[in-house]
C-alpha cells in the first residue's frame, strides 16, 4: 500500500484533488465533523475545558468558532482533544484499506501533527490566491477570522511545496485534474519499489 498525502493552502481544493485519484480517501475534516456529531466522550472533554462555549451535544461548529475567535489559545485545547480521536480513526482506515494499492490522506495538518511517514508520497495542490478566495467565500460557514487563526497552526506553504514529490496546479477542472492525477500515479508505480 502506497500512502499519498495531499498538501496545500486552506481552500486550494485538496479534497477536490484527493477525490480524483479514485482510491480510498481519509478526509480529516469530515472525520472531525463526525466526532463533533457523535462522540460524547469528546463533547464531555471539550465542555470541561471550554464550559463557556460548548453548550450542548452534538457539538455545534459555531460554538467551536466562537471559542477560537474569543481566545486563539483555545485552538490548542481543542486540537489536543480532537486530534487523538482523528488518529484513531486514521489507524482504523489504514487497517481497513491495507490491501489497496493506494490510500489518499486529505489531512490539513498531516506534517504538522506528524501523521506522515518517511515513505509517503506528498502532493502539493497549488491554486491562485483569487481562486482560493472565491472558493472560501462560497463556503456556508466561512469566517475569515477563523481561517486566519487556523493558518497560524500550519507550516509555511513554501516549505510544504519543497517537501512535496509532485505539484498539481489546480484549475478546478475535473477532466484536467484527472489527467494530471493519472500521470502522477503512473510515475509513482514506475518507482513503486522505493515507496513501498
pLDDT at 113: 86
Residues 138-163, mean pLDDT to the nearest whole number: 80
Angstrom distance (rounded) from CA 144 to CA 8: 18
Report the distance separating Cα 143 and Cα 69, nearest Å. 10
2 sits in which H/E element? strand 2-8
pLDDT at 193: 60
Is the separation of the CB atoms in 85 and 75 below 8 Å?
no
**Model pLDDT for residues 164-196, shown as the tens digit of each residue:** 999 999 877 889 999 999 999 999 988 876 555
Alpha carbon distance 1, 97 (integer Å): 8
Residue 163: the pLDDT is 94
* pTM for this predicted structure: 0.88
pLDDT at 39: 95
7-36: b (≥16 Cβ within 10 Å) or e: bbbbbbbbbbbbbbbebebbbbeebbeebb
Residue 156 CB partners (closer than 8 Å, separation 6+): none
Q: What nine digits make up the cell of 107?
A: 489531512
Amino acid at each position: 500500500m502506497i500512502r499519498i498525502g495531499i498538501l496545500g493552502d486552506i481552500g486550494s481544493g485538496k479534497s477536490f484533488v484527493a477525490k480524483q485519484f479514485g482510491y480510498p480517501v481519509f478526509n480529516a475534516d469530515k472525520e472531525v465533523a463526525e466526532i463533533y456529531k457523535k462522540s460524547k466522550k469528546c463533547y464531555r472533554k471539550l465542555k470541561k475545558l471550554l464550559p463557556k462555549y460548548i453548550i450542548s451535544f452534538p457539538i455545534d461548529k459555531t460554538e467551536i468558532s466562537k471559542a477560537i475567535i474569543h481566545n486563539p489559545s483555545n485552538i490548542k485545547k481543542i486540537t489536543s482533544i480532537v486530534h487523538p480521536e482523528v488518529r484513531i480513526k486514521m489507524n482504523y482506515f489504514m487497517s481497513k484499506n491495507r490491501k489497496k494499492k493506494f490510500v489518499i490522506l486529505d489531512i490539513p495538518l498531516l506534517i504538522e501533527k506528524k501523521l506522515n511517514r518517511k515513505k509517503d508520497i506528498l502532493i502539493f495542490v497549488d491554486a491562485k490566491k483569487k481562486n482560493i478566495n472565491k472558493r472560501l467565500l462560497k463556503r456556508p460557514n466561512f469566517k475569515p477570522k477563523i481561517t486566519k487563526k487556523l493558518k497560524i497552526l500550519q507550516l509555511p506553504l513554501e516549505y510544504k511545496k519543497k517537501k512535496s514529490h509532485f505539484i498539481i496546479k489546480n484549475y478546478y477542472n475535473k477532466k484536467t485534474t484527472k489527467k494530471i492525477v493519472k500521470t502522477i500515479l503512473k510515475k509513482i508505480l514506475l518507482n513503486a519499489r522505493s515507496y513501498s
